């Protein structure tokens, strides 16, 4: 706004076209209408018109015609009069040429006005196109905001799933503790032989498999909410097995003759804890990366909103100034047309009067050639003509004052036209700046679209990793079911190590075990378990060997 006001206060620069405006802008040429360039010519024309009007009025008067007819003029005076008439003819021809020049300048002024109107129409068309581009930009911004909202929702869901996975990362720890307790009870027991070694070998195998599961645990951090349900099912299954493990511990304590356990060292797992910490750090880094991406999207959205509001303000300001330019153009056009019309009518009247005076002058010249006799009367008439000349001089002074007033109005009109052209030029410059800013905003929108595409690709990668985690969890579940079968086998073997008790009856005791299968949400292969009939058969065989 300050630049526009400063330009309006400077001299008026009137460009003929956008190309010539750019060429003439550095040189600082002041382009004025041609009608104001020929001030001296116009002044000379007015003086010639006044003089010819005076002479024709004097010669065309009835008294002058009568005196010319009745007086006798000397040959020298007749020659002087003829010379004056020739000068009047020459001045008349000059007046005609000057009038033609004035008409040409008027035509050029009309062309200049048409050109300015065309430039204003072009500016209006460019403004409309800019408004349309702004609307399209607003629509693109809305679509980007929708995409950003969807990405934020997906990010929140991923964060929730990661938090759930972090809470579930220690799902295999209770089973490891129970197996450690079983190992300690075996060490405390006094039983020896290949069965105890076989049990230790089985427990070592279980430890290795649990280590493999712990190494695969970080992959399960990226699975969906179904992993939580599976972990809960696994925890329920482990709680069911807890009672069985407690019974085994009681049996081992009875077999060791109520001795306190001598070994209480737990299984050290520093490597597993280190791996878990590294996996958690990796997940924290990914979460921080997602949060940084979200923050960058929020900043880009805020910058885009600020740029959009600034462009809207610029467009509104340009529209307001163009409306003011149109009003000023209408007022200046009406005033300028009125002044041109008055000047043209006055010129036409002067030409008509000049033609009539020419005809009268030709007739009076013919009469003067026929009767050039009386010089005294001619001198008296010259004195009267001198008086009339003084009167005409006064009239000329009045006309000169009127001419100065007209000149001032024309100069004011010229200044107003220059200001209007300067304002149009500043509006065009603003439009160019707005187009440049619009291109920058469009480039930023394309960058945001590319970033959203990258985020979508990352989301697809996360989904793929989820699917792989699901398959791995299915394998882990199957493996855990196999471990449960082995644990049930261990319980049966530990029961066989019990000291023989007196039978309550001659019949063989039968212990029936019920093992509830794990219900998974996803389809997987059924766990391999031994039926209660097989377990009873094994127990019967063991009792038979002991007997």
User: Are both 48 and 72 inside the same structural domain?
Assistant: yes
Claim to verify: residue 317 and residue 405 sit in the same structural domain = yes
- Domain with 177 in it: 152-300+454-498+509-546
pLDDT in tens, 207-220: 676 666 555 545 54
Q: Which of 404, 419, 441 is the last residue of a domain?
A: 441
**Nearest residue to 371 (alpha-carbon basis) of 85, 82, 64, 68:** 68
Over residues 324-350, the pLDDT tens digits come to 766 776 777 777 667 667 766 766 676
Q: Are residues 249 and 323 in the same domain?
A: no
The answer to whether 539 touches 510, Cβ cutoff 8 Å, is yes
Q: What is the pLDDT of residue 9?
A: 43
- 112 and 179 share a domain? no
Of 441, 466, 485, the position where a domain reaches its end is 441
Instruction: Identify whether residues 378 and 409 lie together within a single domain.
Output: yes
- Residues 157, 89 share a domain: no
- Is 532 a domain residue? yes
In order of 66, 93, 359, 495, the CA distances from 354 in angstroms are 22, 11, 9, 145
Shared domain check, 361 and 286? no
Number of domains in the chain: 2
Contact 349, 76 (CB under 8 A): no
Q: What is the pTM of this model?
A: 0.23
The confidence score (pLDDT) of residue 11 equals 38
Q: What percent of the chain is predicted at pLDDT more than 70?
A: 37
Are residue 322 and residue 392 in the same domain, yes or no? yes
Judged against a pLDDT cut of 50, whether residue 30 lies above it is answered with no
Residue 333 lies in a domain: yes
- The per-residue pLDDT for range 396-423, each reduced to its tens digit, is 777 778 778 877 888 888 888 888 888 8
Q: What are 266-274's contacts with CB under 8 Å, separation 24+?
A: 266/177, 266/180, 267/176, 267/180, 267/183, 267/207, 269/176, 269/214, 272/211, 272/214, 272/215
* Contact between residue 395 and residue 275 where contact means Cβ atoms under 8 Å apart: no
User: Is pLDDT at 458 greater than 70 in this prediction?
Assistant: yes
Assess whether pLDDT exceeds 60 at residue 186.
yes
pLDDT digits (tens, 9 = 90+) for 156-183: 766 676 565 555 545 556 666 666 776 7
**Shared domain check, 255 and 392:** no
Q: Please check whether residue 146 lies inside any domain of the structure.
A: no
Is 519 a domain residue? Answer: yes
At residue 251, the pLDDT reads 58
Same domain, 397 and 435: yes
Instruction: Give the mean pLDDT of 358-387.
Output: 66
Cα 333 from Cα 336, distance rounded (Å): 5
Q: Is the pLDDT of residue 198 over 80?
A: no
In this structure, is residue 538 part of a structural domain? Answer: yes
**Whether residue 479 sits in one domain with residue 360:** no
**Residue 543: band (very low, low, confident or very high) from pLDDT cuts 50, 70, 90:** low
């Amino acid at each position: 706004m300050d630049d526009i006001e400063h330009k309006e206060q400077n001299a008026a620069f009137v460009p003929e076209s956008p190309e010539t405006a750019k060429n003439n802008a550095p040189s600082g040429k002041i382009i004025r209408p041609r009608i104001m360039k020929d001030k001296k010519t116009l002044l000379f024309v007015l003086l010639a018109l006044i003089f010819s009007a005076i002479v024709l009025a004097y010669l065309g008067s009835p008294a002058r015609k009568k005196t010319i007819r009745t007086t006798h003029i000397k040959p020298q005076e007749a020659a002087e009069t003829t010379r004056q008439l020739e000068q009047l003819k020459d001045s008349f021809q000059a007046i005609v040429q000057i009038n033609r020049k004035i008409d040409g300048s008027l035509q050029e002024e009309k062309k200049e006005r048409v050109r300015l109107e065309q430039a204003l129409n072009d500016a209006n068309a460019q403004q409309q196109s800019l408004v349309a581009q702004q609307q399209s930009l607003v629509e693109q911004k809305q679509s980007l905001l929708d995409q950003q909202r969807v990405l934020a929702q997906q990010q929140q869901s991923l964060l929730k799933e990661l938090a759930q996975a972090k809470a579930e990362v220690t799902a295999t720890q209770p089973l490891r503790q129970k197996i450690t307790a079983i190992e300690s009870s075996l060490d405390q027991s006094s039983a020896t032989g290949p069965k105890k070694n076989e049990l230790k070998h089985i427990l070592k195998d279980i430890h290795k498999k649990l280590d493999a599961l712990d190494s695969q645990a970080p992959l399960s951090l990226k699975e969906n909410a179904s992993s939580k349900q599976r972990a809960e099912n696994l925890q329920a299954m482990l709680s069911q097995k807890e009672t069985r493990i407690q019974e085994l511990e009681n049996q081992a304590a009875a077999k060791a003759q109520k001795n306190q356990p001598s070994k209480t060292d737990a299984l050290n797992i520093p490597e597993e804890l280190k791996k878990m910490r590294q996996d958690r750090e990796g997940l924290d880094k990914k979460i921080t990366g997602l949060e940084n991406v979200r923050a960058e999207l929020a900043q880009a959205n805020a910058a885009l909103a600020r740029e959009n509001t600034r462009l809207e303000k610029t467009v509104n300001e340009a529209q307001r100034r163009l409306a003011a330019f149109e009003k000023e153009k209408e007022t200046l056009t009406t005033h300028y047309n009125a002044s041109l019309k008055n000047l043209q009518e006055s010129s036409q009247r002067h030409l008509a009067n000049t033609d009539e005076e020419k005809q009268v002058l030709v007739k009076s010249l013919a009469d003067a050639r026929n009767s050039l006799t009386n010089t005294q009367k001619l001198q008296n008439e010259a004195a009267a003509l001198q008086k009339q000349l003084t009167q005409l001089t006064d009239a000329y002074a009045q006309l000169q004052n009127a001419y100065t007033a007209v000149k001032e109005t024309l100069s004011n009109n010229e200044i107003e036209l220059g200001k209007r052209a300067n304002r149009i030029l500043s509006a065009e410059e603003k439009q160019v700046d707005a187009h440049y800013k619009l291109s920058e905003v469009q480039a930023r929108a394309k960058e945001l679209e590319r970033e959203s595409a990258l985020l979508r690709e990352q989301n697809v990668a996360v989904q793929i990793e989820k699917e792989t985690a699901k398959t791995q969890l299915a394998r882990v579940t199957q493996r855990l079911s196999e471990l449960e079968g082995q644990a049930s086998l261990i319980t049966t073997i530990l029961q066989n190590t019990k000291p023989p008790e007196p039978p309550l009856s001659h019949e063989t005791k039968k212990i029936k075990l019920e093992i509830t299968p794990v219900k998974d949400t996803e389809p997987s292969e059924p766990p391999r378990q031994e039926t209660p009939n097989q377990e009873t058969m094994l127990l019967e065989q063991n009792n038979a060997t002991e007997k």
